[in-house]
């Protein structure tokens, strides 16, 4: 999180976090891709946008400053960013909880193999895997 300058999320992930956390827990600027009219907590910089991700990329980069962009989710938004060539790394955290269902990381084929470039073990058995996506250097 220390390297992160801006967050990007879809409405499903945003609403899930809001429900689970009782509000938006992040203080960083957030770009929320949605066609809905979501609740925005007081004091949070949540910018509602819609349309093509490439159309908002310059604004997202400007908001990030020198920091990284954290694309929180969901799968439909992630595949749009990937297809526009706007994702260079995937940090996938495996949490030792068995789910019966869920949202895909990418809602579509990424056209290539992920290259494992690092891993880190956290407490309670969580493991973060870092991958380089196809077509990035």
CATH number at residue 22: 3.40.430.10
Is residue 9 in some structural domain? yes
Is residue 50 in some structural domain? yes
Q: Which domain holds residue 49?
A: 4-132
Predicted TM-score (pTM) of the model is: 0.81
Sheet containing strand 127-132, edge to edge, reads 89-94, 127-132, 115-121
Q: Is the dihedral of CA 48, 52, 55, 60 positive or negative?
A: positive
* Separation of CA 73 from chain center: 4
**Low-confidence spans in the chain with pLDDT less than 50:** none
Q: What's the pLDDT at 137?
A: 61
Is residue 137 in some structural domain? no
Cβ atoms of 3 and 66 within 8 Å: the answer is: no
Q: What's the pLDDT at 84?
A: 87
For the stretch 78-87, pLDDT in tens is: 888 888 888 8
Q: What's the pLDDT at 108?
A: 67
Q: Could you count the other beta carbons within 10 Å of the beta carbon of residue 33?
A: 24
Is residue 88 in some structural domain? yes
Q: What's the pLDDT at 106?
A: 67
Is residue 106 in some structural domain? yes
Q: Which residues of 64-98 are buried (b: 16+ CB within 10 A; e: fewer)?
A: beeeebbbbbbbbbbbbbbbeebbeebeeeeeeee
Is residue 80 in some structural domain? yes
Q: What's the pLDDT at 136?
A: 66
Is residue 10 in some structural domain? yes
Q: Report the candidate in 24, 4, 1 with the shortest Cα–Cα distance to residue 65.
A: 4
Total structural domains in the chain?
1
């Amino acid at each position: 999180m220390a390297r992160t300058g801006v967050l990007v999320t879809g409405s499903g992930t945003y609403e899930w976090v809001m429900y689970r956390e009782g509000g938006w827990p992040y203080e960083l600027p957030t770009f929320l891709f949605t066609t809905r009219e979501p609740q925005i907590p007081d004091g949070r910089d949540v910018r509602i946008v819609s349309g093509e991700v490439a159309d908002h990329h310059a604004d997202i980069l400007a908001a990030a400053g020198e920091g990284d962009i954290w694309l929180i989710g969901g799968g439909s938004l992630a595949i749009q960013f990937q297809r526009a060539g706007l994702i260079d790394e995937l940090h996938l955290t495996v949490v030792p909880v068995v789910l019966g269902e869920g949202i895909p990381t990418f809602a579509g084929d990424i056209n290539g193999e992920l290259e494992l470039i690092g891993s880190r073990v956290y407490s309670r058995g969580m493991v973060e895997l870092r991958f380089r996506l196809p077509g990035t250097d």
